């Protein structure tokens, strides 16, 4: 069920865009994730490129150093071999053998200070050892069948570099540089061989690598065979063939760099190579790609870890901010609800204070008006009992005017919520059918009134007279909104209301909807429609109490009323009356509103009915002298002996002195320390057998009085009502 009202406030609440702030925090959170990752990726890419460039630069630098070192060693060997060849000249094997001792000392002197030389040997034309720098006399050794001897003889006088071998003379791991001797007649005369220690080169390469296990440095022959390599490999004696590395050697490239997987140890490396002078030798340095990648990854992980610490702090801060924002939003919403509630309460309080002040004013006026009516009514009763004495028509006119005045007083008291209610169990279907003719008579003849009733309507507990007046007020307003005629539809149905969907409390209601197709209301008018004395009619055409009485009647029954309206299309007034679940109360007579009921003038009493209460003593407690005089006169006509007191304090004091009365009739609202209810409580406590009766014009005093079980007369009342309560058997 849709709510039919929208709360309005005098002060606009400040706005906070939590959704926008949350989106901003989420954007910042995303940025704090994406930006560092992007920066890390960019850094990682350039660091990867830099590390590979550094590895290439390192291999090239080490290759240049190793190349210079190899070139010095080989050049020195070349010089030594050339000197020895020149020293020997065309000397044959026999002459060399005869001069072995001197030649030994000469060779020993040449090699004695050179750490890289294992031995210098001179071999004859058949490969026999003729002289050696380490041994004298030279052992009987022949290298005729060795590859280096045969190759040197084939390329003489060009220097030949052998494969690594275990020297027959030096008994060490070496490779040789061998130069053939050619006589003047072109005859091969033998070779001069210098054995170089491979360990000398590998130790130098170890120092160049400076403990970096990823570095590989080697000296290679042009055919790809390894002469020296650090670190050594199990397959280091196997030549590297059919690789970009050996292809560069065969193409006599002076230097270069490439990336390849080694055919020796199958490791992917960055390689730099250089040719050693004009010799068929190459120096190469390799750097393992896996080491570059590993160091790059480790560095990237370190940088990521370092960067992650502030990022985590930022993320936690943002998440904390989001949680605080959620908590702030919840608190903000609660604060808004509290402010809205407070503003609504303050507005309602101001409205209730205005209505309370107006209600008190109206109630006081109506109360005094009722007292005046009591005076008029009691005197009319006296006139009737005195058989009018030829003023019957005038008295009847006064009674009719009194009936209209009572109706106005009743409406004022209802608006002020001071009207004494007579709650009854009401069947909505029967009640609406009974008042339909009255509603039709209260509207313009051009307005058609239609009633629609749902089956099995629930019962309600309400004052039917107040509901009848409310229905007539709504119908009259609808008629005024349709000056050219129209239709009023009264629909009654059961309704279950859920508080989450509307501002009406949860519960089961009987909903009475009065819909017209008239001019409708603006939003401003709709909001103020229930305010007392607010009217849109021309001056003097309306009192502004009609819809206020409608709301009061519904609220006094425990329900409420709502209005929906569309300008130019019509208005719907909904009356929510709570379903009655309790037991059916004892039947009581309902009020018949004087403005719609036809006043019935009782005939003058007969002679024999005079003074039906003869001998009854009554203590009348009433602060209004005129009301007291009128009631006293009527009671005396009925035969009562009346004693009047103007306050409850005085009446209580009189009773306390021991005076006794058949009946105490007291008003409720009186000046002094005690009111009528206080007096009744004291009498019931101290004189439980004393007959007691109260009279009042205020509804808010009835609840307290009902708990006492004391009969109550609602002002203005006629004497028949009083007589029925005092002596039920003699009343008309």
3-state secondary structure of 562: strand
Instruction: State the Cα–Cα distance between residues 55 and 49, nearest whole angstrom.
Output: 10
Which spans in 241-288 are helix H? 244-250
| Same domain as 504, residue 617 | no
Give DSSP secondary structure letters for 158-197.
Answer: S-EEPPPEE-TTT-SEEEEEEEEEE-TTS-EEEEEEEEEE
Task: Report residue 433 as tokens.
Answer: 């059918």
User: In which element (H, E) is residue 257 found?
Assistant: strand 255-261
Alpha carbon 202 to chain centroid, angstroms? 71
Residue 160 lies in a domain: yes
| Same domain as 254, residue 106 | yes
Least confident of 37-41, 498-502, 572-576, 651-655: 498-502
Please tell me the predicted confidence (pLDDT) of residue 539.
Answer: 47
User: Average pLDDT, stretch 612-636?
Assistant: 84
Contact 463/557 with Cβ under 8 angstroms? yes
Mean pLDDT for the chain overall: 80
| Same domain as 300, residue 436 | no
Residue 263 has pLDDT above 80, yes or no: no
User: Average pLDDT, stretch 139-153?
Assistant: 83
Please tell me the predicted confidence (pLDDT) of residue 594.
Answer: 39
Task: For residue 45, name the pLDDT band (cuts at 50, 70, 90).
Answer: very high
Task: Report residue 604 as tokens.
Answer: 């003058």
Strand 160-161 relative to strand 692-696, pairing: unpaired
User: Average pLDDT, stretch 524-547?
Assistant: 66
| Same domain as 615, residue 528 | no
| Same domain as 145, residue 291 | yes
Total count of domains within the chain: 3
Tell me the CATH number at 708: 3.40.50.2300
Residue 42 lies in a domain: no
Tell me the CATH number at 526: 3.30.565.10
Eight-class DSSP state of 165: E
Residue 47 has pLDDT above 90, yes or no: yes
Residue 355 has pLDDT above 70, yes or no: no
Residue 704 lies in a domain: yes
Tally Cβ neighbours within 10 Å of residue 209: 17
Residue 34 lies in a domain: no
Please tell me the predicted confidence (pLDDT) of residue 669.
Answer: 81
* Dihedral sign, Cα of residue 470, residue 476, residue 482, residue 486: positive
Q: How far is CA 609 from CA 385, 448, 727, 728, in A?
A: 10, 50, 13, 14
Please tell me the predicted confidence (pLDDT) of residue 167.
Answer: 53
The length of the chain is 732
Residue 144 has pLDDT above 80, yes or no: yes
Task: Name the residue range of residue 509's domain.
Answer: 420-578
3-state secondary structure of 537: coil
Please tell me the predicted confidence (pLDDT) of residue 341.
Answer: 77
Please tell me the predicted confidence (pLDDT) of residue 60.
Answer: 94
The owner of tokens 């035969």 is: 639
Nearest to 300 by CA among 49, 54, 55: 49
| Same domain as 219, residue 159 | yes
Task: For residue 4, name the pLDDT band (cuts at 50, 70, 90).
Answer: very low
Residue 705 has pLDDT above 80, yes or no: no
Contact 608/730 with Cβ under 8 angstroms? no
Task: For residue 424, name the pLDDT band (cuts at 50, 70, 90).
Answer: confident
Cβ-count burial 290-299 (b if 16+ within 10 Å, e if not): ebbeeebeee
Residue 396 lies in a domain: no
Residue 690 has pLDDT above 60, yes or no: yes
Instruction: State the Cα–Cα distance between residues 271 and 186, nearest whole angstrom.
Output: 43
User: Average pLDDT, stretch 639-658?
Assistant: 89
Alpha carbon 412 to chain centroid, angstroms? 51
Of 578, 599, 629, the residue that ends a domain is 578
Residue 170 has pLDDT above 60, yes or no: no
Which spans in 386-420 are helix H? 392-415
3-state secondary structure of 527: helix
CA 376-380-383 angle, 5° bins: 140
| Same domain as 258, residue 193 | yes
Task: For residue 597, name the pLDDT band (cuts at 50, 70, 90).
Answer: very low
| Same domain as 132, residue 59 | yes
Please tell me the predicted confidence (pLDDT) of residue 593.
Answer: 39
Nearest to 333 by CA among 618, 730, 15, 92: 15
Tally Cβ neighbours within 10 Å of residue 705: 19
Tally Cβ neighbours within 10 Å of residue 203: 15
| Same domain as 535, residue 639 | no
Those residues with Cβ within 8 angstroms of residue 673's Cβ, 6 or more apart along the chain or in another chain:
649
Q: Is the peptide bond before 231 cis (omega within 30 degrees of 0)?
A: yes
Cβ-count burial 18-39 (b if 16+ within 10 Å, e if not): eeeeeeebeebbeebeeebeee
Eight-class DSSP state of 589: P
Question: How do residues 75-88 score in pLDDT, each as one tens digit?
Answer: 998 888 888 888 88
Those residues with Cβ within 8 angstroms of residue 211's Cβ, 6 or more apart along the chain or in another chain:
none
Task: For residue 398, name the pLDDT band (cuts at 50, 70, 90).
Answer: low
Residue 321 lies in a domain: no
Q: Identify which has the larger pLDDT, 230 or 347.
A: 230
| Same domain as 557, residue 641 | no
Contact 234/216 with Cβ under 8 angstroms? no
| Same domain as 534, residue 617 | no
Phi, psi for 581 (deg, rounded to 5) = -105, -15
Please classify residue 607 by burial: count the beta carbons closer than 10 Å to its beta carbon, then call 0-12 exposed, 13-18 middle and 19+ buried. Answer: exposed
Residue 533 has pLDDT above 60, yes or no: yes
Of 250, 284, 315, the residue that ends a domain is 315
Residue 584 lies in a domain: no
Contact 628/644 with Cβ under 8 angstroms? yes
Tell me the CATH number at 213: 3.30.450.20
Instruction: State the Cα–Cα distance between residues 483 and 559, nearest whole angstrom.
Output: 31
Residue 415 lies in a domain: no
Contact 143/127 with Cβ under 8 angstroms? yes
Q: How far apart are the first and last CA of the chain?
A: 51
| Same domain as 166, residue 299 | yes
Q: How far is CA 645 from CA 376, 623, 657, 665, 672, in A?
A: 21, 8, 14, 10, 12
């Amino acid at each position: 069920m849709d709510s039919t009202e929208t709360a309005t406030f005098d002060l606009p609440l400040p706005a906070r865009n939590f959704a926008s702030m949350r989106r901003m925090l989420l954007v910042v959170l995303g940025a704090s994730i994406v930006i560092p990752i992007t920066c890390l990726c960019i850094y990682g890419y350039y660091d990867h490129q830099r590390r590979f460039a550094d590895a290439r630069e390192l291999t090239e630098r080490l290759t240049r150093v190793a190349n210079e070192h190899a070139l010095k060693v080989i050049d020195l060997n070349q010089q030594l071999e050339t000197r020895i060849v020149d020293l020997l000249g065309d000397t044959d094997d026999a002459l060399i053998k005869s001069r072995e001792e001197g030649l030994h000392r000469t060779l020993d002197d040449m090699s004695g200070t050179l750490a890289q030389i294992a031995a210098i040997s001179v071999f004859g034309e058949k490969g026999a050892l003729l002289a050696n720098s380490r041994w004298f006399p030279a052992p009987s050794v022949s290298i005729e069948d060795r590859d280096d001897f045969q190759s040197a003889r084939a390329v003489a006088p060009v220097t030949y570099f052998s494969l690594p071998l275990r020297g027959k003379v030096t008994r060490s791991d070496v490779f040789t540089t061998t130069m053939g001797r050619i006589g003047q007649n072109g005859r091969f005369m033998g070779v001069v061989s210098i054995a170089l220690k491979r360990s000398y080169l590998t130790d130098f390469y170890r120092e160049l690598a400076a403990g970096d296990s990823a570095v590989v440095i080697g000296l290679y022959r042009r055919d790809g065979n390894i002469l020296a390599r650090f670190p050594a490999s199990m397959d280091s004696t196997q030549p590297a063939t059919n690789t970009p590395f050996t292809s560069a050697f065969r193409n006599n490239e002076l230097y270069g760099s490439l990336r390849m997987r080694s055919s020796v140890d199958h490791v992917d490396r960055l390689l730099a190579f250089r040719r050693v002078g004009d010799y068929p030798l190459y120096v190469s340095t390799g750097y393992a790609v896996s080491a570059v990648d590993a160091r790059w990854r480790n560095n990237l992980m370190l940088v990521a870890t370092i960067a992650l610490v502030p990022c985590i702090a930022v993320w936690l801060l943002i998440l904390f901010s989001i949680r605080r924002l959620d908590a702030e939003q919840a608190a903000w919403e609660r604060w808004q609800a509290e402010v809205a509630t407070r503003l609504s309460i303050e507005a309602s309080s101001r409205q209730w204070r205005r209505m309370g002040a107006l209600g008190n004013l109206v109630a006081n006026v109506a109360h005094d008006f009722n007292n005046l009516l009591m005076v008029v009514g009691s005197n009319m009763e006296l006139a009737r009992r005195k058989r009018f004495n030829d003023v019957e028509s005038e008295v009847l006119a006064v009674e009719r005017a009194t009936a209209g005045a009572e109706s106005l007083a009743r409406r004022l008291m209802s608006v002020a919520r001071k009207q004494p209610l007579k709650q009854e169990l009401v069947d909505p279907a029967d009640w609406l059918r009974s008042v339909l003719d009255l509603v039709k008579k209260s509207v313009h003849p051009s307005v058609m009134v239609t009633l629609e009733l749902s089956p099995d309507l629930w019962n309600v507990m309400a004052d039917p007279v107040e509901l009848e007046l409310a229905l007539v007020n709504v119908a009259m307003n609808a008629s005024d909104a349709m000056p050219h005629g129209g239709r009023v539809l009264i629909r009654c149905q059961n309704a279950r209301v859920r508080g989450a969907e509307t501002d009406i409390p949860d519960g089961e209601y009987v909903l009475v909807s009065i819909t017209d197709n008239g001019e409708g209301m603006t939003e401003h008018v709709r909001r103020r429609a229930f305010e007392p004395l607010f009217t849109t009619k021309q001056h003097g055409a309306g009192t502004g109490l009609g819809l206020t009485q409608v709301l009061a009647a519904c609220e006094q029954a425990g329900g409420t009323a709502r209005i929906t309206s569309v300008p130019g299309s019509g208005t719907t007034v909904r009356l929510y009356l709570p379903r009655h679940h309790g037991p059916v109360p004892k039947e009581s007579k309902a009020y018949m509103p004087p403005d719609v009921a036809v006043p019935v003038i009782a005939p003058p009493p007969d002679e024999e009915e005079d003074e039906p209460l003869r001998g009854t003593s009554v203590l009348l407690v009433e602060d209004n002298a005129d009301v007291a005089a009128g009631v006293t006169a009527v009671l005396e006509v009925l035969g009562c002996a009346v004693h009047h007191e103007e306050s409850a304090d005085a009446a209580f004091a009189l009773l306390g002195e021991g005076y006794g009365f058949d009946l105490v009739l007291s008003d409720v609202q009186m000046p002094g320390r005690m009111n009528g209810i206080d007096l009744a409580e004291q009498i019931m406590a101290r004189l439980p057998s004393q007959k007691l009766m109260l009279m009042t014009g205020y509804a808010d005093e009835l609840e307290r009085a009902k708990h006492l079980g004391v009969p109550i007369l609602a002002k203005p009342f006629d004497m028949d009502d009083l007589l029925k309560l005092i002596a039920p058997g003699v009343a008309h």
